[in-house]
Structure formats: structure tokens, C-alpha cells
Amino acid sequence: MQSKLAKWYLSQDRLPYWYLLFADCLTIILAGFFAFIINHRPHLSQLPTLLLTLTAYLPFYVVGIYVFRIYRDAVRRIEMRGLLRVGGAIAFGAISVVILRVFFHSDLIGSTIRLRDLAFQSALAFVLMTAMRMLVKLAYEDYMRHNRPNVYGLSNNDLLGIELSALLPRKEIKINMAAVQEKMQNKRILITGAGGSIGSELVRLVAALHPQQLLLLDIAETPLHDVRLMLSREYPQVDCQTVVCNICHLNRLSQLFDSFKPEIIFHAAAYKHVPMMEDNPTESILNNVDGTVKLANLSIEYGVKTFVMVSTDKAVNPTNVMGCSKRICEIYCQSLNNDKRNIHGCQFITTRFGNVLGSNGSVVPTFRQQIRNGGPVYVTHPDIERYFMLIPEACKLVLQAATIGEGGKIYVFDMGQPVKIVDLARRMIELSGKSDIQIAYSGLRPGEKLYEELLNDAERVEPTPYERISIARVREYVFDEVQTAIQELINTALSYDAMRTVKQMKGLVPEYVSANELYRELTTSH
């Protein structure tokens, strides 16, 4: 019965209006009934008249419900604003009854309901209606936490068979949600890479902050469709447009900017898999760099207020094509922020963090599948280690960085201590209960390094008011020089000459020392 009820409820965008109205009306009548009984202890013969009187006053509360639009948000997503609307509707009904009584000098029907009865009824009705909504919200969130599909169609339990937090135990990251909501509320927000691991979680978090509109872009149709379904299920009140779009297509982007006029952009679209980009360096430039350049330039043209780019620790002293491409993106955004062409004062903010646990194609889902298959679990090297965060942790910090508002800065997240990949594998095997699973070593992949950094040797950090966020002090670049060099790089990439592309990347980012034997010889050949 419980599963059938849950399935029915989750299939709805929200509970039907008439169901909620009936429940609230019944609550208001019962609250008045109990208030009168407690205050007057009436004889049983008086109760039918009392109920008739309370029912006669009910339309005033219904009008209050309509005026304050208490069903504007789905009950399972109720927040403080929604509870205030409930209180307003009840107050409207009670005041209307008082005015009616003053005007007619008596009750319309039967029982005399005193002012203290109305006050008691209002307070009790508010408590009961609030309690009902909070219980529904808590039950829904608990159910979804354990059973909802993520954007890749797997539940939390299916993804790992174990809780991600068990792999990375530490204190929950707390951010200033009031500041974040003030920044996001009633804004037109564009999110690129909205179907990806980071992008989809950003969508989920931003949708809860009451944006005016959301525009979600991704080149991958299926993950974007899954995000669309998630939003229709969990945030049906959000005005959202999902667009299958390549961020390198300038005409399409221009059209979208012109019609949507975004105020805030979260740029999470990128090719991210290191081995793939080692084999396809020109595509790394054409997607990661050229896409970022086009988005950043349009942000200037259309007066975007805040542009937040999601970067990676692989951009620090990069040893692979992917990391170097993201460092080039950082350089472009930083230099454009400080250039005279930024006439509207767009704040270009870069967020830099390490790996996220459980992202699509990452080690955790890979290890999970290998464990299910009976092993072995393959680790590239016994000493390899990485910084890790949970996806919600990273996305919360991205939102917090967006509120700080200092353009041209690179915000570095405190990732905690680095984790050895072999220790992660052992932990997953231990938590799976399969003690016979073996670990094997496959060797480092092209472009892969043993250790990753959040800062290079020349960088220092400045504190921010937020415990887990620092500012990286990086080299300043002149935009004209950066623009010319990057455009030359993009033109080279369009020729699909991999070696020449990588050589020019090394010229732009001198600290890029490739760990790939194929490109290593180009290190000093600028």
C-alpha cells in the first residue's frame, strides 16, 4: 500500500488542488471545533449548530486561500514563504469573520463564537496546516534521498550499493544560504552542461532558490531530458527551458542570449575525461576553450551580471591536455574581467576544485561495477592520489563563490586531505562485504599524474569570509595578448593538427609539462 501511494504521489507534479483545499478546509473546521470545545465545554446538543456555524464562516477562509495563493508551490517543496502565505490566508479569514460580526452585531448562525475562540482557532489551524506540510515535505525528501533516480537513471543505492558519505567521512559543508538565495531569487539563470554531474546538481540547488527563469543547455540529449523530468517532478513551479545546444555554435548561442537575457551564468559544460582529451586535443580546444570564449564574449555583449566558470585542479601545473585547456579558460575569463571591453562590469568568477565522488565515468561507478563483476578492481598506480568532494559539497561552494562577487578571481575550495585511490578501492570493497575482491594495477594512463594540486608553486591564497573558500593569487594577463594567442590556438585546432595544437597550448601555459610521451618532446619547443 505504501509503495502504491508513493508511486501515485511521485507521478504527480503536485497534489491536486482540490485534494489540498478539502484537507485545509477540514483542518480549519476541526480547529474551530476543538477551540470552542476547549473554551466552552458545550453540551452535545450544541455541537451540530457549532459545526453549521463554522461551515458558514468557511468561505471567508477559502477566499483567503485564494488571495494568498497558498498552493502556488508544491506542498512537498514548501518553504518559509509558503508557510507565511498559509498564515496570511488564515488571518484573512479570521479578520473577515470579525468584521462580519461587528457589522451584524452577532453571529449569522446559531453558536456564538467569541474573539478568543477565533484566535485559538486561527493558531491551531496554522499549526496543524504547517505540521501537515512539513511532514509531507520531510517524508518526500527522505523517500527521494534513498530512492530518487539521478540524472543517469540510477538511484543512490544503485549507484554504489553504499552511501557516498561513507567513502568520504567529514563534517557537512555549511554555506550562507540566505546570501545565496538573495543572489539567485527572481533571476534569469543559464546553466551550461546542465545534464552533467556538476551541472545537474547545480540545477537542483538553483531551482529551490526561486529563480525567475532557468535556461539549461547541454549537447547530450538524454541526460538533459532526465534533468527536465526531474524538474517537472520536484520543481514544477519553476519556469524552465531545456535546449540541446553545442556551446561552440555562436549563432544559436546569440539567439538564446537575445531571447532569454541571462543575468547569471554557471558554465559547467566541458570535455573532462583526461585519456579521451589526450587522444583528441583539438576537440578539447574547440569545445572547452572556444565554447568558453563564445559564452564569455556574449556575456559582455548582453550585460550578464555574473559569469561563474567551473574549473578543475587539473588546471594547476597541468600535465594533460584537459587540464591545460581549463587553465586557458581561466586565463581568458580573468583577463576579460579586467579589460575595458567589460563595459557592463560582468563579474567573471572561476571556481577550482578536485574530483567529485560518483560523477559519471569516474572511479567510483567504475569500481562499483568491477566489484559487482567479482573483481579485480583496477587502480592505475599504488601511489596515485586525488582530492575528492561530494557533488553537493562542490555545488554548494560554487553557489557561495557566486555570491562573493569579486570578478577576475579564482576561488579555490578546501578539499580536505587527498585520498589514495587504492585506499578508496579498499574502502569500497570493505563496505560491499565482498572480502575476496582483488586489487590490480594497470599503470598510469597518458597525461595522468600521481598527485594533483589546487595551487601552483607561484600562487598564494587569500582568505575569504567563508571557511572552505580561498582566493588564488595568480599571474595577471593582458587581454589583447591573451585574445590574440587564444584565437590563433582555436584556428590551429580547426585544422585538426594535434601536435601543433599542443605546442601552442604549451606556449600559452608554460607550466604545462605533458605526462604523455607523445607530447613530451614539445615541452621546450615553444
Q: For residues 67 and 495, what is the distance between their CA atoms, to the nearest angstrom?
A: 63
Which of 183, 187, 272, 314 is catalytic? The answer is 314
pLDDT at 178 over 90: no
Residues 494-513, mean pLDDT to the nearest whole number: 93
Query: What CA–CA distance (Å, rounded) separates 286 from 112?
Result: 77
Q: For 56-95, what is each residue's pLDDT tens digit? A: 888 989 998 888 888 776 676 677 878 888 989 999 988 9
397: nearest Cα among 113, 180, 137: 180
Determine the Cα–Cα distance for residues 129 and 133; give it in Å rounded to an integer: 6
Q: Given a cut of 70, is residue 153 above it in pLDDT? A: no
Q: What is the DSSP letter of 255?
A: H
CA angle 140, 145, 148 (to 5 degrees): 85
Question: Does 258 score more than 50 pLDDT?
Answer: yes
Question: Angle at CA 100, nearest 5°, toward 115 and 130?
Answer: 55
- Distance (Å, rounded) from C-alpha 253 to C-alpha 295? 8
Full-prediction pTM beyond 0.75? no
The highest-confidence range among 13-22, 67-76, 507-516, by mean pLDDT, is 507-516
| 319 vs 306, residue with greater confidence | 306
User: Is the pLDDT at 272 greater than 70, yes or no?
Assistant: yes
Average pLDDT over every residue of 248-254: 96
Q: Under CATH, what is the fold of the domain 174-482? A: Rossmann fold (3.40.50)
* Average pLDDT over all residues of the chain: 82
Average pLDDT of the segment spanning 270-282: 92
> Phi, psi at residue 470, to the nearest 5°?
-125, 165
Closest by CA to 516, choosing from 507, 506, 286, is 506
Highest mean pLDDT among 258-262, 380-384, 418-422: 258-262
Which pLDDT value is given to residue 154?
A: 37
Q: What band does 6 get if pLDDT is binned at 50, 70 and 90?
A: low
For the ranges 54-58, 137-141, 325-329, 455-459, the lowest mean pLDDT is seen at 455-459
Domain boundaries, the chain: 2-147, 174-482
Q: Quick check: 110 pLDDT over 50? A: no
Q: Has 314 been annotated as catalytic?
A: yes
Average pLDDT on 510-523 reads 83
Cβ partners under 8 Å of residue 323, min gap 6:
274, 312, 314, 315, 316, 512
3-state secondary structure 408-458: CEEEEECCCCCEEHHHHHHHHHHHHCCCCCCEEECCCCCCCCCCCCCCCCC
| Cα–Cα dist 359/196, whole Å | 8
- The answer to whether the bond into 463 is cis (omega within 30° of 0) is no
Tell me what pLDDT residue 157 has.
Answer: 42
Q: Please give the pLDDT value at position 501.
A: 96
Q: Could you read off the pLDDT of 370-404 as tens digits, one per residue?
A: 888 888 888 888 888 777 777 887 888 899 989 98
